[in-house]
Structure 1
Amino acid sequence: MELTFLDWIVFILVLAISFASAWFYAGIKRKNDPKYAYFPWAVLIKLVGGALFTATFFYLYKVGDTFLYFGGSETLSRYFWENPQLYFEALFSGSEETLKLIPGIVYEIPYARTEEEWFMVRILSVFQIISFNNYLLMIFWTSLFSFIGSWKIFEVFNSWFNNVTKTAFIASFLIPTVIFWSSGIIKDSLVFGMIGLAFHSFYKLFIQPDRKYVLHSFLLLFSLWITFNLKSYIVISLVPPLFFALYLQMKNQLTNPFMKRLAGPAMLVVFGVFLSLLVNVLIESSKKYQLDNLEKQARGFHTWHVTTGGSAYTLGEIEYSATGVLSKVPAALNVTFFRPYPWEIRNATMALAAVESIILLILFLYFLFYRGIKSIRFALNDPLFGFTIMFCFILGFRCRIYILQFWSTSSL
């Protein structure tokens, strides 16, 4: 697969048109809503991130899941033109059904044999049709998809934290590794978009309701369904923080101090029981994350990742039991937020992650020593701050205990 000079010219033209359209739209909206002054720059950042992702994988790495996803979705999209009925049957069929429906498709599309990857291929096949099988035009659509999620996160932060628009914009759009990893033809881009949509819908349903209950309920369930089919562990990691945020919101709405002290623990127990049942249902719904498969999956990941050169790390000897895995929580979170260290840099993406890790370490030390107890109290009382901290911890631990590669540190 190659990119021509004409491909880049077309992409730059599309980028320019998109930026101009966003600028025009923002000019109308910002009269009543100042945050839209950031809208065109947000669009530009996402599209530039997609271009950087493309250049890195085409001219530096030259291999990766992105090429398998593009090739697989391109092959599937051909059925739309050659046999529309068969295409739509495959589009709405799982991996096992498709292997029976189109014998031999696994030789054309290797990802047809696994459910999550096949789901991604099916979604991308729709993008292929409107992108005329052009990689950079596909990048445009995946970047735009991710932009929706980032903008929704920006809207929530800006609304909840007293219109701190500039800070909310930085947190939502200007984290370097997020710019890079959430704009390419990979699952992370679609998942990032869906997480943002789910977060915003949850906020509008339970934290600051705006009476569009049917719309937000649909968007919340739809975005969680898409995410679950792409990366089920994300939803399993997302549900507990959402329940924690809902618990804090309901507790904060109690004005009587006695009732708050009395009802708080009771609500926590009820939420805890319901949450435990829900998480168990989610785990059982995903064969990949059932308990009897976890050890086998973790061992497989570790064996493969430590043999991959250049960016592997180790958490030390791991005992594959509940206590053994939990004992690695500190080391796993350290990798997620504070590594790679400068002396561990092996390539450009690791250098980017290292700079980001240093900044996170400085911020962490600032809050630890200068805000201390206040930060903890804030996390235990503010629904969104509590949600953010818990989600980062759960997801960060899950990713690091399975994936022993620094290149995955900033991707989902």
Structure 2
Amino acid sequence: MELKDLFLTPLYLGLFYGLAFALRKRFTNPLTRKYFIPALSVKFLGAISLGLIYQFYYGGGDTFNYFFHIKVLHNAFSDSIGLGIRLLEAPEIPDADMLRYTSQMYWYQAPTEYFVVRIGSIISLFCFNTYTIIALGFASISFAGMWAMYVTFLRIYPQAYKKLALAVFFLPSVFFWGSGLMKDSLCIGALGWVFYGFYHVFIAKKNIIQAAILGSLGVYMLISIKIYILLSFMPPGLLWIFNENNQRIKSTALRLVLKPLFLLLGLGAGYFGATGLTAGDEKYDVEKIGERTKINQEYLTNYVANGSAYSIGEFDGSASSLLKTAPQAIVVSIFRPFLFEVRNPVMLLSALEATLFIWLTISLLYKTGLGKGLGIIIGTPIILFSFLFSIVFAIGVGINSGNFGTLVRYKIPLMPFYLAGLYVLQAKASQHSSKRKLTN
């Protein structure tokens, strides 16, 4: 961060808030209006805090690596707008004029990282290439997607609007890691748009054009940055669509006939979507993903652990080892680190959230009973989707990480969905108890 950050950030914060207040009436209702500005504020707090912690606690890191690349692109735009545009287009083989700049950017040949750089570079043109303001721009993009996520949850289950706001916006790890100049900010915002698009296009069948545009934008961003988030979303999402639409079929016999057909279609669409989206991709090709996961896990465990490594058993990339390690991966992603495993302040924050998840999960299942709780989950499509997505995603990141330092970042997409699922389950269980008391 530089001196200009101190002078320009307050000015741009005023502009961001002015725009937010102007738009609030359009995108809120009486239930949600009071959360709009506080939710945006914690995103801004997370973006600024992340930069400060990376600078003064870690002494550098990915966020400043992105900014270094953004500065190179910004300088190219200063020299020639046409040259800057060509660098944004990122041709595989740069021309002679571009080589002066691409030679400085070790992420030019890394498409996922460079996608983040390109978005940051566009923002930099409007803020004098100021790190903090670029980070605020990423926080705004993330907020826009997460507001769409919140609105979608509310349209499905408005009774839990207060607790859903907590689940989506106010988990510290989510607004800290998901707000700054990082991949994670764009990904969690994109996930919100995909969630919004899925619901409005395929289930509610309202605002279809707007939802399709936002959903497609979210899909494009996830494919460009972290396609495994989309791959984790697709199978539970397809099952969610089937369950919601299946409940609207009045004939019980017809529902029973169509259920296996739709499940097969959903599985088939998920498989072909996954293989088609990742075919030839060095990192995420389905044929190579087990091998890549094993390599990544070993690297992160052995070289980036810094005392925060965990073990979930031997994983060799095979389907059998995946089945063996999956239960531990779910536990480590959702319910760990435990408080006694804390080694630094970042781990403490994650441990407190994991403790909240443990307490809510156990207390809910204890109050409702395991059988009744499972019945509510299976019978409520949005709860089933939220938990299935969380579990699928938890398996992927739990196996792939190897240490809590990276896991705390990797797992933030599942956290709003898991907590939202718990809160909707809690509300549904209370409704069932109230109805039972009335009938008695």
Q: TM-score when scaled to structure 1?
A: 0.92
Indicate which of 337, 342, 362 corresponds to 1:340: 337
Indicate which of 371, 374, 381 corresponds to 1:376: 374
Indicate which of 189, 199, 208 corresponds to 1:213: 208
- Residue 63 and residue 405 in structure 1: after superposition, are their counterparts in 2 closer, same or farther (change >3 A)? farther
Residues 74 and 125 in structure 2, CA contact (< 8 A), matched pair in contact too? yes
Note the 1:281-300 alignment, pairs <5 A. 281-284=276-279, 286-300=281-295
Structure 2 counterpart of 1:41, one-letter code:
P
In the alignment, which residue of structure 2 is the partner of 1:156?
152
Residues 235 and 266 in structure 2, CA contact (< 8 A), matched pair in contact too? no
Deviation of the 1:265 alpha carbon: 2.1
Question: Identical aligned pairs, as a percentage?
Answer: 24
Residues 294 and 315 in structure 2, CA contact (< 8 A), matched pair in contact too? no
SS of the aligned residue for 1:328 comes to: helix
Structure 2 counterpart of 1:391, one-letter code:
F
In the alignment, which residue of structure 2 is the partner of 1:251?
246
Deviations 1:21-58 (A, max 9, x none): 5346546876x543112111111111111122122111
RMSD over aligned Cα atoms: 2.2
In the alignment, which residue of structure 1 is the partner of 2:179?
183
In the alignment, which residue of structure 1 is the partner of 2:432?
none
Residues 142 and 188 in structure 2, CA contact (< 8 A), matched pair in contact too? yes
CA distance in 1, matches of 2:313, 2:259: 40
Structure 2 counterpart of 1:240, one-letter code:
P
Q: Which moved more, 1:322-331 or 1:276-285?
A: 276-285
Structure 2 counterpart of 1:276, one-letter code:
Y
Note the 1:3-402 alignment, pairs <5 A. 3-4=2-3, 7-19=5-17, 22-23=20-21, 25-26=23-24, 33-94=30-91, 96-98=92-94, 102-103=98-99, 105-210=101-206, 212-284=207-279, 286-306=281-301, 307-308=303-304, 309-371=306-368, 372-402=370-400
SS of the aligned residue for 2:283 comes to: helix
- Residue 236 and residue 361 in structure 1: after superposition, are their counterparts in 2 closer, same or farther (change >3 A)? same
Structure 2 counterpart of 1:170, one-letter code:
L
- Residue 127 and residue 310 in structure 1: after superposition, are their counterparts in 2 closer, same or farther (change >3 A)? farther
Q: Which moved more, 1:96-105 or 1:370-379?
A: 96-105
Deviation of the 1:7 alpha carbon: 2.2
Q: Which moved more, 1:354-363 or 1:319-328?
A: 319-328
Deviation of the 1:254 alpha carbon: 0.8
Deviation of the 1:233 alpha carbon: 1.0
CA distance in 2, matches of 1:27, 1:201: 22
CA distance in 2, matches of 1:161, 1:266: 28
Residues 146 and 189 in structure 1, CA contact (< 8 A), matched pair in contact too? yes
Residues 313 and 405 in structure 1, CA contact (< 8 A), matched pair in contact too? yes
SS of the aligned residue for 1:131 comes to: coil
Deviation of the 1:219 alpha carbon: 2.0
CA distance in 1, matches of 2:8, 2:55: 17
Deviation of the 1:229 alpha carbon: 0.6
Residues 99 and 105 in structure 1, CA contact (< 8 A), matched pair in contact too? no
Deviations 1:354-376 (A, max 9, x none): 00000001111123322322332
- Residue 374 and residue 286 in structure 1: after superposition, are their counterparts in 2 closer, same or farther (change >3 A)? farther
- Residue 310 and residue 11 in structure 1: after superposition, are their counterparts in 2 closer, same or farther (change >3 A)? farther
- Residue 266 and residue 334 in structure 1: after superposition, are their counterparts in 2 closer, same or farther (change >3 A)? same
Structure 2 counterpart of 1:151, one-letter code:
W
CA distance in 2, matches of 1:29, 1:118: 32
CA distance in 2, matches of 1:340, 1:46: 24
SS of the aligned residue for 1:316 comes to: coil
SS of the aligned residue for 2:71 comes to: helix
Residues 54 and 60 in structure 2, CA contact (< 8 A), matched pair in contact too? yes
Q: Which moved more, 1:375-384 or 1:41-50?
A: 375-384
CA distance in 2, matches of 1:15, 1:276: 44
Q: Which moved more, 1:301-310 or 1:14-23?
A: 14-23
Deviations 1:140-187 (A, max 9, x none): 101101110111111111111134221121111111100101111100
Structure 1 counterpart of 2:326, one-letter code:
V
CA distance in 2, matches of 1:295, 1:21: 45
Deviation of the 1:325 alpha carbon: 2.1
Structure 2 counterpart of 1:255, one-letter code:
K
SS of the aligned residue for 1:130 comes to: coil
- Residue 99 and residue 122 in structure 1: after superposition, are their counterparts in 2 closer, same or farther (change >3 A)? farther
SS of the aligned residue for 1:363 comes to: helix
Deviations 1:244-281 (A, max 9, x none): 11111111111122222222222212222222222221
Structure 2 counterpart of 1:266, one-letter code:
L
Deviations 1:203-242 (A, max 9, x none): 11122222x3233222212210111111111111111121
Deviation of the 1:384 alpha carbon: 2.0
CA distance in 1, matches of 2:95, 2:296: 26
CA distance in 2, matches of 1:401, 1:248: 29
Residues 232 and 286 in structure 1, CA contact (< 8 A), matched pair in contact too? no
- Residue 313 and residue 98 in structure 1: after superposition, are their counterparts in 2 closer, same or farther (change >3 A)? farther
CA distance in 2, matches of 1:189, 1:28: 24
